[in-house]
């Protein structure tokens, strides 16, 4: 198995990430590595002959900063470490990629280069968190700020499969993050998502409030990226606040210091439970290729944990299981938009092409049914014979072997 490791963009620098790779190589003799970073720095770090035989270095100094606009940076910085890594991965020369750099750059390069799975509308960034009983999976963490019902439903499907494989739960309990546990709470999108998930073949247990997610009563918490990112950063900040204030309180008096000595062992255990380094990196679910994102502040230990997590993910073939499930749920069609042309390609390579003719104020539609022109008349797109665009599109899908219904 070959793993690509992006060494650049982390808070700790390429040396720390590379040392994590070295430690992982000692634990897994069957792994080979492609590391991307400055060669002159890496050559100063001592490695044994065994790893040298399993190591490829792609030399680059360029990387994408956290404060750069990801889409622009990915297109401009062709020699950045994440772009070079994604291109290597896309060629099929490696089994997975892990990065500790810019989250936006990882997501955008994954979408533009590695591509998303067919029928997956948006990939989701996940994390595994501890609870009072075991662990849980939270998604999305910021990859998708605005989400439709279909996107949230796909998050639940992907999270359910990921939890089943990694948490060893036969029927993971899936919940929707909301402002109340009762049905009917939240926005229109959340209400409709609740109704959609009730119809899914999964153990959907309803809404959950943020204060209850650590009780251990659910295994997967689904939300849009905006609220997921706020929740995650609140959790990180709260954990840091609690630990620092406990230490400050214990060290403020002689009796407190004595008490601190007595609870030193339990405190270490608590700190370990709250330490992100214990949970490694997490996958971007929904991409065609296996891509993991690690915390920017990861040390050697966290790097090892992240790579090991990815290796386990690859061995369990979780991507394939997600793709098969999403294919069963959705249409067998791939959509591509270029300018004013939308091309829908089906499994048999047949196509429906929709072309917006702005100069003529018309929509043109071509399919197995033939070609048709539609004008905007009486608040609706119609042919000269009065046939509705949406009605015709439904018939076109049926002719191509897919049944759909378009509602206003």
pLDDT tens for 287-309 read 999 999 998 888 898 899 999 99
Judge whether 405 lies within some domain. Answer: no
Question: Domain check: are 303 and 349 in the same one?
Answer: no
Q: Among 130-144, 318-332, 341-355, 370-384, which is the least confidently predicted range?
A: 318-332
What is residue 275's predicted lDDT score, i.e. its pLDDT?
A: 63
Residue whose structure tokens are 């662990």 = 135
Asked if residue 55 belongs to a domain, the reply is: yes
21: left (phi over 0), alpha (psi -120 to 50) or beta: alpha
Q: Which has the minimum average pLDDT: 39-43, 132-136, 139-143, 262-266?
A: 262-266
Residues 307 and 220 in one domain: no
Same-domain pairing of 346 and 369: yes
Q: Residue 365: which domain range? A: 333-399
Indicate the pLDDT class of residue 371, thresholds 50, 70 and 90.
very high
Tell me if 33 is assigned to some domain.
Answer: yes
Model pLDDT for residues 335-359, shown as the tens digit of each residue: 788 888 999 888 778 899 999 888 8
For residue 203, what are its two tokens?
A: 């153990």
> Is residue 406 a part of any domain in this protein?
no
User: Is residue 182 domain-shared with residue 299, that is, in the same domain?
Assistant: no
Is residue 408 a part of any domain in this protein?
no
What mean pLDDT comes out for the span 124-136? 90
Identify whether residues 173 and 32 lie together within a single domain.
Answer: no
- Assess whether 163 and 303 both reside in one domain: no
Nearest CA to 218 among 284, 159, 141, 300?
A: 159
Average pLDDT over residues 323-329: 77
Tokens matching residue 338: 């270029």
CATH of the domain at 214: 3.40.718.10
Q: How far apart are CA 141 and CA 304, in angstroms?
A: 22
Q: Report the pLDDT value the prediction gives residue 130, as an integer from 0 to 100.
A: 87
Give per-residue pLDDT as tens, 192-230: 999 999 988 899 999 999 999 999 999 999 999 999 989
Band the pLDDT of 330: cuts 50, 70, 90. low
Let me know whether 102 and 141 are in one domain.
no
Is residue 407, in this structure, part of any structural domain at all? no
Q: Tell me, yes or no, whether 157 lies in a domain.
A: yes
Share of the chain above pLDDT 90, in %: 51
CB atoms within 10 A of CB 266: 9
141 and 276 belong to one structural domain: yes
Least confident of 99-108, 133-142, 326-335, 372-381: 326-335
Which of 328, 350, 383 marks a domain boundary? 328
Is the domain of 130 the same as that of 191?
A: yes
Whole-number pLDDT of residue 308 = 93
CATH code assigned at 338: 3.30.920.10
Count of domains forming the chain: 3
* 244 assigned to some structural domain: yes
216 and 235 in a single domain? The answer is yes
Looking at residue 174, its pLDDT comes to 97
Q: What is the pLDDT of residues 65-124, one digit of tens each?
A: 989 999 999 999 999 999 999 999 999 999 999 999 998 899 999 999 999 888 888 899
Q: Identify the band that residue 274 occupies on the pLDDT scale cut at 50, 70 and 90.
A: low
Q: Are residues 111 and 171 located together in one domain of the fold?
A: no
- 234 and 346 fall within a common domain: no
pLDDT at 277 over 70: no
From 282, 309, 344, give the residue that closes a domain.
Answer: 282
């Amino acid at each position: 198995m070959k793993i690509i490791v992006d060494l650049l963009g982390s808070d700790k620098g390429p040396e720390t990430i590379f040392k994590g790779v070295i430690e992982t190589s000692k634990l897994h003799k069957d792994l080979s590595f492609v590391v991307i970073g400055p060669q002159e720095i890496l050559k100063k770090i001592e490695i044994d002959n065994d790893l040298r035989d399993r190591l490829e270095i792609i030399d680059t100094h360029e990387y994408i900063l956290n404060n750069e606009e990801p889409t622009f940076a990915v297109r401009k910085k062709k020699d950045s470490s994440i772009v070079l890594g994604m291109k290597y991965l896309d060629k099929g020369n490696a089994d997975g990629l892990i990065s500790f750099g810019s989250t936006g750059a990882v997501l955008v390069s994954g979408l533009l280069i590695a591509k998303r799975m067919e029928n997956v509308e948006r990939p989701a960034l996940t994390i595994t968190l501890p609870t009072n009983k075991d662990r849980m999976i939270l998604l999305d963490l910021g990859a998708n700020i605005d989400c439709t019902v279909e996107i949230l439903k796909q998050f639940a499907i992907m999270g359910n499969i990921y939890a089943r494989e990694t948490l060893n739960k036969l029927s993971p309990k899936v919940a929707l993050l909301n402002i109340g546990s009762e049905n009917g709470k939240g926005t229109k999108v959340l209400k409709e998502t609740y109704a959609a998930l009730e119809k899914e073949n999964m153990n959907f247990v309803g809404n959950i409030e943020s204060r209850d997610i650590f009780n251990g009563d659910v295994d997967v918490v689904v939300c849009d990226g905006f609220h997921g990112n706020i929740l995650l950063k609140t959790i990180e900040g709260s954990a840091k606040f609690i630990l620092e204030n406990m230490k400050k309180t214990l060290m403020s008096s002689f009796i407190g210091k004595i008490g601190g000595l007595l609870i030193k062992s339990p405190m270490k255990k608590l700190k370990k439970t709250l330490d992100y380094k214990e949970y490694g990196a997490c996958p971007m679910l929904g991409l065609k290729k296996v891509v993991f994102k690690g915390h920017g502040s990861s040390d050697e230990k966290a790097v090892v944990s992240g790579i090991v997590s990815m290796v386990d993910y690859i061995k369990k073939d979780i991507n394939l299981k997600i793709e098969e499930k999403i294919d069963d749920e959705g249409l067998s069609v791939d959509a591509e938009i270029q300018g004013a042309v939308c091309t829908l390609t089906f499994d048999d390579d047949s196509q429906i092409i929709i072309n917006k003719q702005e100069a003529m104020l018309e929509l043109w539609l071509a399919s197995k049914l033939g070609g048709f022109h539609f004008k905007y008349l009486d608040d609706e797109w119609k042919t000269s014979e009065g046939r509705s665009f949406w009605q015709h599109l439904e018939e076109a899908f049926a002719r191509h072997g897919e049944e759909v219904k378009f509602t206003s």
